[in-house]
Amino acid sequence: MLRRTKHTREECLAALRRLSEILGGSRPTAADLRGKAGREAGCPREHVYYRLFGSLEAAVEAAGLSDLPTAKQKRLSEARAEVRRLFEEALAGRKFLLEREAVALVRDLSGCGLPPDTRKALLREVCQEKGVRLVSLPTSVALYAAASWLASQPCRGMLPERVAVRVALGEEAARLLELALELGSLAAAARAAGCEVNEANKMVIKASRRAVRRLTGRAFVREQQI
């Protein structure tokens, strides 16, 4: 039996539309045409489209499919929407986010299909939309608690009155920590206040530990973890 080699324009366009349906309503690409989905749709080989339409892109346009996203674009769009949803969920009720928390959020979604730089940019975008400030602080549970309370953000289920937090911290430490939340890091706050960074870090951490003991009646242990 002789194999048919002639295809009409209408047959080629119908095959492209079937391929689009198989791809979930996506715009067919040359890779799709050559792959399993293309064979399933009964698509002729790519050179047939070039012969009849001048290019595959022209054939896709003639089939009314040129405005659709490709399957890859759809996957990336869906992945982006899901990552955004997860970031919004993680930032719900937050006033600030530690830089190392941001790194962990981006790392934990490594299997989502988006590259790291895209995830980082998306997290910053969501932070900006939600009014969440990215802040760099020395690693200390007590310091994180004090900063959270000053930002009216609960920590470990507690949210003491802001005035009580400032009193427990002391005027200098409270002022530096509030400035850190505003400028994005305790180092920037220390420089802005004309303080030596290491000394400012030690002073604010010590004041935070004291404030936590005073406000909670106990110390937060394992200071290296937040």
* Mean of per-residue pLDDT scores for the chain: 90
- Residues 63-91 have pLDDT tens digits of 999 999 999 999 999 999 999 999 999 99
pTM: 0.72
- Residues 179-209 have pLDDT tens digits of 999 999 999 999 999 999 999 999 999 999 9
Res. 223 pLDDT band, cuts 50 70 90: very low
The token duo for 218 is: 């106990």
The token duo for 204 is: 């604010």
Res. 220 pLDDT band, cuts 50 70 90: low
Question: Helices in the chain by DSSP H: which ranges?
Answer: 9-22, 30-34, 36-41, 46-53, 56-62, 71-90, 99-108, 116-130, 141-150, 162-169, 171-183, 186-192, 197-216
Kindly give, in sequence order, each residue whose CB lies less than 8 Å from that of residue 171, ignoring residues fewer than 6 positions away: none
Domain-by-domain residue ranges, the chain?
9-62, 72-134, 141-216
pLDDT on residue 156: 82
Closest among 137, 151, 162 to 223, alpha carbons compared: 137
Question: Which backbone phi and psi does 96 adopt, to 5 degrees?
Answer: -145, 160
The token duo for 24 is: 């979930």
